[in-house]
Amino acid sequence: MIRIWQQNTGFTLVEMVLSLVIGGILLASISVIVGGAYDNYFDVGKKMQLQQDLSLIEQVLSTRIHEAVGGKHMVYENYTAYSSGKASQTTGSCLRIFNEEGQSVTLCQINNDLYILDEQIGIKNRLIQNKIDTLNFRDQNTFIETVCTLTLENWQLTDTLAHAFRN
């Protein structure tokens, strides 16, 4: 009886090699599928983070520009020009916006970070860290055009925003 069982279930060398090859192909296929899903999961997370950061920039700009009375604002070439009080430009990486009380808030790119600076209470608050490649405010008289490029590892998001001043 043992001999019959061995004859019915025994593998030839060719069958065993073929089984190993098919098994290897299946394992490799599963690895590619699972690995791709894993990479895609984290890539989607990076894309979402960039989109959230862009939405934060849009929200802050929208709120602050809406608060500006008569569109009173100044654009500075960069943080150094802003902090040294150099004359404002029509384009630059710092935007100073004045509210009804004459107080101001400044949005400014410093290195790869976005800061909001409140001069009245001396707060320098970092909104976005290590993702801002380009932040360019362009004064269009009745509105501010903002070109922003955010980067997170190998993902990049670029958008142009336009926010009109009241009245």
Q: Which of 127, 139, 2, 125 is nearest to 54 (CA)?
A: 127
Which pLDDT value is given to residue 1? 43
> Is the pTM here over 0.85, yes or no?
no
Express each pLDDT in 12-22 by its tens digit.
777 777 777 78
Give domain limits for the chain. Answer: 34-164
CB atoms within 10 A of CB 49: 15
* pLDDT < 70 stretches in the chain: 1-11, 34-42, 69, 120-122, 167
User: Which 8-state DSSP code applies to residue 87?
Assistant: P
Per DSSP, the three-state class of 52 is: helix
Retrieve residue 157's tokens.
């998001």
